[in-house]
């Protein structure tokens, strides 16, 4: 019995550790989806007051909100299942919830030139990729390892910093992320990202490349390679 107990004890400890982390993640996910539902309720109630009558159609806004609600419902079911969800995927969904909350609260400083409908379409497009990625993978939340190369003509170039930001957060510097490594000829730099729409660009000293909009994980792939033209 002592020998059996000694063999089982590490497994029990390991199991309790594995279970603890998903429970914490599930609590975070619950808060994220509560935020989604609260924001959707607020926007549905106040859309006629928020729409710009000269440039926006209330029916288009209502349709976008319906699509967003459908995507949220699907993703909520993914998190409610017993299937593992990578932390990076949750962070991507949480950013979308934060964006919707800002839209509902009329916080426009992060996208001052866009109207309500434009902001909702940005969010809708990002969520659509997350949902498509999951449906293609058997309703399993997937993340994508993104490899980036710097290019000058046909040649790979080293020593450039690589940056990315979710498309909808382009104007908020707090959500810009820098890759851990510079571009390298023999070992491409990589970062694990939640599926979605991102801008990618290169910097070196005071030069900065064009921001390139790329959809990540549209086809359920686990790896994606990107070439960026040096400035």
Query: What's the pLDDT score for residue 140?
Result: 75
Phi, psi of 51 (to 5 degrees): -65, 140
Other CB atoms closer than 10 Å to residue 212's CB: what's the count? 15
Give the DSSP letter of residue 141.
-
pTM of the model as a whole: 0.83
State how far Cα 53 lies from the chain centre. 31
Question: CB–CB of 39/100 below 8 Å?
Answer: yes
Mean pLDDT, consecutive 10-residue segments, the chain of 231 residues? 47 37 83 98 77 64 95 94 90 97 78 75 96 71 95 95 95 93 93 98 96 95 95 81
d(CA 175, CA 197): 13
- Structure tokens, 44: 């549905």
Query: What's the pLDDT score for residue 12?
Result: 41
Question: CB–CB of 141/81 below 8 Å?
Answer: no
Q: Which domains does the chain have, with CATH numbers?
A: 2-136 (no CATH), 144-229 (2.60.40.1120)
Query: What's the pLDDT score for residue 10?
Result: 43
């Amino acid at each position: 019995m002592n020998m059996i107990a000694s063999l089982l004890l590490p497994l029990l400890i390991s199991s309790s550790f594995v279970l603890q982390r998903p429970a914490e993640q599930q609590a975070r996910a619950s808060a994220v989806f509560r935020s989604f539902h609260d924001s959707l309720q607020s926007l549905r109630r106040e859309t006629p007051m928020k729409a710009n009558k000269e440039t926006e159609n209330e029916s288009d806004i209502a349709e976008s909100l319906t699509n967003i609600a459908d995507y949220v419902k699907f993703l909520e079911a993914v998190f409610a299942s017993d299937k593992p969800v990578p932390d990076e995927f949750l962070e991507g969904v949480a950013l979308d919830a934060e964006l919707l909350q800002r839209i509902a609260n009329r916080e426009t400083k992060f996208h001052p030139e866009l109207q309500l409908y434009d902001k909702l379409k940005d969010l809708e497009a990002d969520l659509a990729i997350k949902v498509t990625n999951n449906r293609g993978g058997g309703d399993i939340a997937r993340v994508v390892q993104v490899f980036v190369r710097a290019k000058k003509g046909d040649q790979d170039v080293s020593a450039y910093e690589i940056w990315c930001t979710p498309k909808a957060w382009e104007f908020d510097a707090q959500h810009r992320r820098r890759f851990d490594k510079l571009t390298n000829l023999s070992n491409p730099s990589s970062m694990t990202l939640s599926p979605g729409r991102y801008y990618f660009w290169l910097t070196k000293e005071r030069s900065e490349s064009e921001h390139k909009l790329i959809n990540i994980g549209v086809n359920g792939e686990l790896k994606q390679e990107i070439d960026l033209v040096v400035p």
